[in-house]
Amino acid sequence: MDYSRAFKRSISATVAGAALLCSTAALAGEVTIWCWDPNFNVAIMKEAAARYTAKNPDTTFNIVDFAKADVEQKLQTGLASGMTDTLPDIVLIEDYGAQKYLQSFPGSFAALTDKIDYSGFAKYKVDLMTLEGEVYGVPFDSGVTGLYYRTDYLEQAGYKASDMENLTWDRFIEIGKDVKAKTGHEMMALDSNDGGLIRIMMQSGGQWYFNEDGSLNITGNAALKAALETQARIVNEGVAKPTSGWNDGISALTSGDVASVLMGVWITGTVKSQADQSGKWALTAIPKLDVEGATAASNLGGSSWYVLDASAEKDEAIDFLNEVYAKDLDFYQKILTERGAVGSLLAARTGEAYQKPDDFFSGQTVWQNFADWLEQVPAVNYGIFTNELDTAVTANFPALLKGTPVDDVLKAIESQAAGQIQ
């Protein structure tokens, strides 16, 4: 999800230090790109660059691999200082933070509304990068969610695949309690200090922490209220194994401690990392909230590409993203097969890679499932303070576990959030 004309046709992935940061003003024909994760974003961007240079040999790419936090810090510093010559031509931005950059630094990113055909992308991704009628990014990977579950554990508890279809959260909790009683395995792992599950449930209900105008949407947010109540039940009724931090949660998954994981599509590689568990997993849609308009589709994570408006290579950077990320269907087949990346270009869903059965999941066409759910993800306004709201939610969630009425917890979240975002 993450850039010298000195050597034409070369593509370099560089871990940049301070010296590189000071010299990122590109020569003609060199496109500098900042992103993170060498096995995912960087590797995928190298593939995209190779495809473009095959047709445009005078263009070279300098793909810079930073840690995600470093990308964000360096981008923030460069934009705030106005030192645009320290910035790349293209940068990867996580979807949750897109509006914060667009609204905080107006004019810093190139408007692409008339440069890209956005009708071919998942609507919820396009909405995330739209401000005042202009679209500023090129959608990349989706965080479309699914419920992965252990078929062997469910069978031990007396359940079939059909029992896991069209789930509600009430039914999920009921099954989870039964699975724990009969197999000793909790249904899922849960870190109550992480807001991910609440965000998944809330977006599936078509709501977010903010209204379309950016105002807080807390005390009257039926989806958030239902998500809080549901997560509290999951904890209090013993359905979840308590975990602390990302690594602890992954350990609970890969070790076989838990019977399911509800996460974005990008977790598929981790689920499949244990070869001895092949044939013991299946995939289904996430449970639905009991609120009006709720769906069985949601999103967690995902990022997109943005072109800096001050880039000396702006036109070339835009053409590159348009030719590969907005048009090259074979590119999407390859990154799905090699990297497990479900892109946001809807036309790519008809490719062979999406329809191929997966032996690990007992022959299910898991990629096609995710592709189908992608189009159903509700579009919401992530606003510019999602991280601050997450902090307020997780800080007040323990009170709900101890019996504080949910409406009072919502008021406390709103009060804390209002103080944080002033």
In the predicted model, what is the mean pLDDT of residues 384-406?
95
Helix axis angle, 43-55 to 314-325, nearest 10°: 100
The pLDDT-based confidence of 400 (bands split at 50, 70, 90) is very high
Please say if the pLDDT value at position 26 is more than 60: no
Q: Which of 91, 66, 101 is nearest to 308 (CA)?
A: 91
Distances (CA, A) of 405 to 221, 328, 408: 15, 52, 5
Distances (CA, A) of 115 to 108, 304, 326: 17, 16, 10
Q: Which residues partner with 168 through β-bridges?
A: 288
- pLDDT tens readout for residues 243-280: 999 899 999 999 999 999 999 999 998 899 899 999 99
Q: In a 10 Å sphere around its CB, with 0-12 CB exposed, 13-18 middle and 19+ buried, how is residue 162 labelled? A: exposed
Beta strands per DSSP E along 269-331: 281-284, 299-307
- Residues with Cβ within 8 Å of residue 17, at least 6 apart in sequence: none
In the predicted model, what is the mean pLDDT of residues 215-240?
97
Residue 246: its pLDDT value, please?
87
- pLDDT tens readout for residues 35-63: 999 989 999 999 999 999 999 999 999 99
**Contact between residue 129 and residue 356 where contact means Cβ atoms under 8 Å apart:** no
Best-predicted range by mean pLDDT (1-5, 141-145, 322-326, 371-375) = 322-326
Residue 155: its pLDDT value, please?
98
- pLDDT tens readout for residues 143-197: 999 999 999 999 999 999 999 999 999 999 999 999 999 999 999 999 999 999 9
**Contact between residue 87 and residue 21 where contact means Cβ atoms under 8 Å apart:** no
Residue range(s) occupied by CATH 3.40.190.10 in the chain = 30-143+301-348, 144-299+378-421
Sort strands 137-150 and 260-264 into parallel, antiparallel or unpaired.
antiparallel
Q: Which of 23, 3, 140 is nearest to 64 (CA)?
A: 3
The pLDDT-based confidence of 9 (bands split at 50, 70, 90) is very low
Distances (CA, A) of 219 to 213, 258, 412: 16, 33, 9
**Contact between residue 83 and residue 340 where contact means Cβ atoms under 8 Å apart:** no
Encoded tokens for 21 = 């940061």
| Residue where the block lists tokens 């034409």 | 8
Average pLDDT over all residues of the chain: 91
Residue 350: its pLDDT value, please?
85
Please say if the pLDDT value at position 1 is more than 80: no
- The correct CATH number of 30-143+301-348 out of 1.10.1060.10, 3.40.190.10, 3.40.630.10, 3.30.70.100 is 3.40.190.10
144-299+378-421: what fold? D-Maltodextrin-Binding Protein; domain 2 (3.40.190)
| Residue where the block lists tokens 């992480």 | 194
| 3-class state of residue 416 by DSSP | helix
- pLDDT tens readout for residues 286-318: 999 999 999 999 999 999 999 999 999 999 999
In the predicted model, what is the mean pLDDT of residues 79-99?
95
Element (H, E) at 313: none
